Amino acid sequence: MSPPTTPPCASSTPASAVADVGVCLVYPDLLGTYGDGGNARILAQRLRWRGIGAEVVTVRLGDRLPATCELYVLGGGEDRPQALAAAELRRDGALSRAAEGGAAVLAVCAGVQVVGRRFLTADGIVDGAGLVDLDTVRGLPARAVGELAVDPDPGLGLPRLSGYENHAGATTLGPGVQPLGTVVRGVGNGTGHGDGFVAGRMLGTYLHGPVLARNLEVADLLLSWVVGTLPPLEQPAADAEARGLRAERLAAAVGGGARAWWRRYQRGT
């Protein structure tokens, strides 16, 4: 393997002295299903549309992970690549250091499982990066595939969220970890009625879409955690289009067939 390369925001300059907000896209070559890397682009663009400089730092397997970015984004993946990602994150330690230092983390699907304590794959139990007290096993009646709609915890001030899911893992949150919200349609964590988690400045969800393209308010929540009160957008028209798409998808997902879908899913048919 070639020696690790150091991406720009891995310099020894403290984050506070760097003009641009660093959005680190973590191992998109391992955790990059369903265009989840788009979440990093959306975070950066929504900062730029507010006149705030932002840079996406893409870190692939073999690159050194910077501990100095303000935001970290982990996407979905298949079992073996996600096991490799977890091993790298544990060995490297930079993501844990960044999170302990106050960076925000968005973890989607395999990303949720990877930041947890351990997860079960077809090859056996794998240790996660251990950032969040959660465990994932194979406990679903059938693979969870399809629309996912979530009512977020009211304290988060977010509207109903839309996306889709495709996973075999069922995630149990530790006692101090709250779900992102309640599943209205679909499976989510698959243990109880919750989807994802919120722990400090870390937010996880089984929503693909990419989740931030469908749910811009989640992007702004993450951004507010690292830059504080957000100035108004210079491109508000783009938001109206995204909200229209979400309304359309939610109407399709939560409409009349949702209960029948749930009964079929539980029967495994």
- From 171, 179, 219, select the one nearest 196 (Cα to Cα): 179
Report if residue 169 touches ligand GLN, rule: CB under 6 A.
Answer: yes
Is the CB of residue 249 less than 8 Å from the CB of residue 189? no
Rounded Cα distance, 81 and 131, in Å: 19
- Does 208 qualify as catalytic in the annotation? yes
Our CA angle for 150, 152, 158, nearest 5°, is: 115
Listed in sequence order, the residues at least 6 apart from 170 whose beta carbon sits closer than 8 Å to its beta carbon are 136, 137, 138, 139, 140, 189, 190, 191
Q: What is the closest distance, in whole angstroms, from the C-beta atom of residue 124 to ligand GLN in the complex? A: 14
Q: What is the closest distance, in whole angstroms, from the C-beta atom of residue 123 to ligand GLN in the complex? A: 11
Per-residue HEC secondary structure of 206-228 comes to CCECCHHHHCHHHHHHHHHHHHC
- Does 9 qualify as catalytic in the annotation? no
Strands 134-137, 124-127: pairing kind = unpaired
Which residue, 123 or 241, has its beta carbon nearer to ligand GLN? 123
Which residue, 134 or 223, has its beta carbon nearer to ligand GLN? 134
Report if residue 109 touches ligand GLN, rule: CB under 6 A.
Answer: yes
Q: What is the closest distance, in whole angstroms, from the C-beta atom of residue 7 to ligand GLN in the complex? A: 24
Candidate list 9, 24, 69, 109, residue with the active-site label: 109
Q: What is the closest distance, in whole angstroms, from the C-beta atom of residue 197 to ligand GLN in the complex? A: 15
Site string for ligand GLN, 61-80 (x = CB under 6 A): ---------------xxxx-
Listed in sequence order, the residues at least 6 apart from 195 whose beta carbon sits closer than 8 Å to its beta carbon are 148, 150, 179, 180, 181, 182, 183, 186, 188, 189, 205, 206, 207
Report if residue 166 touches ligand GLN, rule: CB under 6 A.
Answer: yes
User: Looking at beta carbons, which residue is closest to ligand GLN?
Assistant: 76
Q: What is the closest distance, in whole angstroms, from the C-beta atom of residue 79 to ligand GLN in the complex? A: 5
Candidate list 24, 69, 167, 208, residue with the active-site label: 208
Report if residue 107 touches ligand GLN, rule: CB under 6 A.
Answer: no
Residues that bind ligand GLN (CB under 6 A): 33, 76-79, 82, 109-110, 166-169
- Catalytic positions: 109, 208
